[in-house]
Amino acid sequence: MIDNYLLEELVTFSKAGTLMETAQMLHVTQPTITRGMQKLESELGAHLFDRQPNKITLTETGKMAAKEANKLIQVNESAITRIQNFDRNQRVIRIGSTLPGPLFVVNSIDLPSNIQVNDKQIESTTIHDALNHANYTLVLSNQNISNNTIDSQYIGTEQLAVNLNKFMIQANQTSIKFSELHDLSFVILSNIGLWRDIVQKSIPKAKFFYQEQQEAFSEITRYSDFPYFSTNILRTGSINIDSDRSDTRVRIPISDDNAKMPIYANYLKPEKTRVNVFIKQLISNWPADFD
């Protein structure tokens, strides 16, 4: 088996182009690089370098070997990362989410010390890799994944509602459809996950004033009558609004099918026993629907 440091020297030389720069990049002496290249050629039994007075270059075989060496280094680093993540996950349950709502519920629970929550949302397209590479033990999403390695369990539903001025005609309804909101202007947080695309597509003629900062969103909703969206999870849009303050709005559930989003816990099948206690705790703390 070829030592990893020899592969690193070959890859570095292919990028640097000279023995001196290779040695500097690897923080070793130039004779060390020379001996390493001679040893690599000997172990491979291949002619990798074209040696001329005051100059050494890679042969075509050497260039091909450098590419293969780079692949081997990446595979080795990936394997080490997976092993380290797997070992960490044997002691710690790492929770991630592709949506902001489920994280709000998770962070409201008194969790055991061995559970770590990443408050930064992950991409929905990376769920398989995040679990299989042991970056996370469990990922919450709106995807019901079921294959040879991953299982999903239904947690609950996140339901969208709109908060309207109580003097508006629509405010007298017990529920409302997106089509009834087409001429309104809304203040809305930028980071609301999939709900952003859903409301834009469902109310294409509406106007949306997006706010990056929760503080700004809170101020606008406090001192204006702009409608805003909330859910059974994020009842105040994930902002700090005093629950007992006077508000001229009423919350009305949206009855369209796409205003209800099922949430699932995704995990590797061998991890079912480890995550089951957390899943039960999450289900028991999941907010009820508006219905």
Q: Is the pLDDT of residue 240 over 50?
A: no
Rounded CA separation 229/123 (Å) = 23
Map tokens 């390695």 to a residue: 149
Whether 175 is covered by a domain: the verdict is yes
What tokens were used for 247? 């508000």
Where a domain ends, among 59, 86, 113? 86
Radius of gyration (C-alpha) of the chain in whole angstroms: 28
Backbone angles phi, psi at 272, to 5 degrees: -55, -45
Whether 59 is covered by a domain: the verdict is yes
Which CATH number fits the domain that encloses residue 30? 1.10.10.10
% pLDDT > 70, the chain:
93
- What pLDDT shows up at residue 99? 93
Q: Answer yes or no: do 140 and 272 share one domain.
A: yes
Which residues form the domain of 120? 90-156+261-284
Mean pLDDT throughout 76-91?
75
- What pLDDT shows up at residue 239? 35
Map tokens 């020899």 to a residue: 6
pTM higher than 0.75 for the full model? no
- Confidence bin at 81 (pLDDT 50/70/90): confident
Which CATH number fits the domain that encloses residue 186? 3.40.190.10
Q: What is the pLDDT of residues 84-120, one digit of tens each?
A: 777 766 668 899 999 999 999 999 898 888 888 998 8
The conformation of residue 185, written as its DSSP 8-state character, comes to E
CA geometry: angle 146, 151, 154, nearest 5 deg: 95
Q: What is the pLDDT of residues 124-140, one digit of tens each?
A: 888 999 998 888 999 99
Q: How many domains does the chain have?
A: 3
Where a domain ends, among 86, 119, 135? 86
Name the average pLDDT for the chain.
Answer: 87
Q: What is the pLDDT of residues 177-210, one digit of tens each?
A: 999 999 899 999 888 889 999 999 999 999 999 9
Name the 3-class secondary structure at 199: helix
Q: Tell me if 134 sits within 8 A of 83, measured CB to CB.
A: no
